[in-house]
C-alpha cells in the first residue's frame, strides 16, 4: 500500500511529510522505470477506502479523519451506505468509511522485477553475495567483505540491509542503528472471474479493533495483510496469523470465504523504536544508512533513492530527511516529530 494518509499515526508529523513526499514521487518514478525497462512498475492508482466494522471502529476512523483533515489531508467521510455503494461486496455490517483518493497500491513483485531489469540496463554490476563485514579504516568505511571472502573497496557504501542492518559486522556497537525484524504474514487470494472485481479500491478495514488491508490487483488477485509479530527472524507462516487475517477479512468482505487461498507468506519488516526510517550519516565517513523503513519500504523507495543519491552527490542530506538521522536515537531526543514540516496536532 502507498498509504501515507490512510495510515497516518497521531504525532508522527515528520514521518507523514516524508511519506507524502514518497507518495508524490511514485508516479514519475513508475513512469521512468516503465519507460526504461518496458516492464510494469506495479503502481495501481485506485484510491483507498478506509472502512469500519462496528460502532467503536467507526468512532476510531472518524477521529482519525478529523485529524487527517486538520493536517490538510484529502479525506471524505462516508456513511455505511455510501461506503457500500463504492464497494458493494462489503459486509452489510460496515458502519462507516473514509475515502482517501490519494492513497494507492503497488505490486511490489513487479516493482522489484522492473528495478532488477533497470539495474541491468544501466550497467550496474550486481553481486549476489551477503556482506560478512564492513571494512573500517580509522573513522572511515572503505569497503565490504563478502561471504565468499572477496573484498570490495568503495568510496561510498550505502547500507540498505533492512532488518539485518544491525547485524552487520565491523560497525562499532554505538553506531549500530536500532533496527529489528518485525514479522508479518500476508495472504494472496484469487477472485474467481464471476466475482471480479471483488473490490475496486484498496480497502483498509478496522474490524472489532483489528486492522486488516485488502488490496485488489488487476489480475484478480486480492492481497490480505498483515500481521505484526515480535518473533525475531522467524519467517514461518503460523496458523494463528492466517486465522487472524481470514477472520478480519471475512468480517468486512464476506465473499472472502469463496476465494481461493493461493499463497501464504511471512516476511520481516525493518522496524525502529519510532517507526521511522534511518537515513543518511552513519557516524563513519563513507557509510550511509538507508534502512529501518518498517511498513513503508515500497512507499519510500523513490524518495529514499533521491535523498541518498543527493547526499552522495552533494555531501548534504536533504532537509526533508534530517529528522531521520541515526543519531536521533543517541541524542536522548526521540521525539523527532517535533520539527515537522506539517503542523503538530495531537489526536
Q: Is 265 a binder of a copy of itself (CB under 8 A)?
A: no
Give the number of residues in contact with a copy of itself, rule: CB under 8 A.
21
Nearer to a copy of itself, 262 or 309 (CB): 262
Q: Is 237 a binder of a copy of itself (CB under 8 A)?
A: yes
Task: Give the Cα-Cα-Cα angle 306, 311, 314 (nearest 5 degrees).
Answer: 115
Q: Which residue has the cell 488490496?
A: 215
Nearer to a copy of itself, 182 or 189 (CB): 189
* CA proximity to 50, closest of 186, 241, 196, 212: 212
Residue of the chain from 9, 76, 260, 333 that contacts a copy of itself (CB under 8 A): 260
Nearer to a copy of itself, 110 or 256 (CB): 256
C-alpha distances in Å from residue 100, one per residue of 46, 207, 318, 344: 10, 18, 28, 21
Residue of the chain from 161, 246, 305, 345 that contacts a copy of itself (CB under 8 A): 246
The edge-to-edge listing of strands for the beta sheet with 157-159 is 157-159, 287-291, 278-281
202-207 vs 48-52, strand pairing mode: parallel
CA distance 338 to 195: 47
157-159 vs 287-291, strand pairing mode: parallel
Q: Is 243 a binder of a copy of itself (CB under 8 A)?
A: yes
Site for a copy of itself in 266-305 (CB under 8 A): none
Q: Is 207 a binder of a copy of itself (CB under 8 A)?
A: no
Q: Is 166 a binder of a copy of itself (CB under 8 A)?
A: no
Q: Is 239 a binder of a copy of itself (CB under 8 A)?
A: yes
Residue of the chain from 201, 250, 269, 336 that contacts a copy of itself (CB under 8 A): 250
Phi–psi pair at 319, nearest 5 degrees: -50, -40
Q: Is 187 a binder of a copy of itself (CB under 8 A)?
A: yes
Beta bridge partners of 131: 146
C-alpha distances in Å from residue 176, one per residue of 265, 272, 317: 29, 12, 19
Residue 199 CB, nearest distance to a copy of itself (Å)? 14
Q: Is 196 a binder of a copy of itself (CB under 8 A)?
A: no
For a copy of itself, the binding residues (CB under 8 A) are: 187, 189-190, 236-240, 242-243, 246-247, 249-250, 256-261, 264
Amino acid at each position: 500500500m502507498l498509504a501515507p494518509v490512510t495510515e497516518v499515526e497521531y504525532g508522527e508529523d515528520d514521518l507523514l511529510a516524508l511519506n507524502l513526499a514518497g507518495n508524490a514521487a511514485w508516479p514519475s518514478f513508475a513512469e521512468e522505470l516503465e519507460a526504461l525497462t518496458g516492464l510494469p512498475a506495479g503502481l495501481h492508482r485506485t484510491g483507498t477506502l478506509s472502512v469500519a466494522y462496528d460502532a467503536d471502529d467507526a468512532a476510531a476512523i472518524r477521529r482519525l479523519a478529523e485529524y487527517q483533515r486538520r493536517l490538510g489531508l484529502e479525506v471524505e467521510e462516508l456513511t455505511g451506505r455510501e461506503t457500500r455503494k463504492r464497494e458493494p461486496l462489503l459486509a452489510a455490517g460496515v458502519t462507516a468509511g473514509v475515502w482517501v483518493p490519494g492513497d494507492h497500491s503497488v505490486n511490489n513483485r513487479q516493482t522489484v522485477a522492473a528495478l532488477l531489469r533497470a539495474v541491468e540496463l544501466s550497467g550496474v554490476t550486481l553481486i549476489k553475495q551477503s556482506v560478512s563485514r564492513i571494512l573500517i579504516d580509522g573513522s572511515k568505511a572503505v569497503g565490504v567483505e563478502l561471504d565468499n571472502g572477496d573484498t570490495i573497496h568503495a568510496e561510498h557504501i550505502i547500507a540498505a540491509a533492512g532488518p539485518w542492518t544491525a547485524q552487520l559486522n565491523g560497525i562499532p556497537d554505538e553506531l549500530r542503528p536500532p533496527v529489528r525484524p518485525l514479522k508479518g504474514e500476508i495472504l494472496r487470494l484469487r477472485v474467481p472471474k464471476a466475482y471480479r472485481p471483488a473490490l475496486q479500491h484498496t480497502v483498509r478495514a478496522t474490524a472489532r479493533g483489528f486492522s486488516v488491508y485488502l488490496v485488489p490487483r488487476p489480475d484478480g488477485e486480492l492481497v490480505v495483510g498483515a500481521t505484526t509479530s515480535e518473533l525475531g527472524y522467524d519467517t514461518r507462516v503460523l496458523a494463528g496469523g492466517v486465522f487472524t487475517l481470514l477472520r478480519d477479512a471475512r468480517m468486512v468482505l464476506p465473499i472472502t470465504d469463496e476465494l481461493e487461498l493461493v499463497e501464504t507468506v511471512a516476511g520481516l519488516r525493518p522496524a525502529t523504536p519510532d517507526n521511522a526510517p534511518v537515513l543518511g550519516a552513519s557516524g563513519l565517513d563513507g557509510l550511509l544508512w538507508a534502512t529501518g523503513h518498517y511498513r513503508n519500504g515500497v512507499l519510500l523507495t523513490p524518495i529514499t533513492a533521491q535523498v541518498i543519491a543527493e547526499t552522495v552527490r552533494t555531501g548534504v542530506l536533504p532537509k526533508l530527511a534530517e529528522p531521520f538521522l541515526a543519531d536521533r536515537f543517541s541524542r536522548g531526543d526521540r521525539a523527532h516529530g517535533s520539527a515537522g514540516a506539517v503542523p503538530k496536532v495531537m489526536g
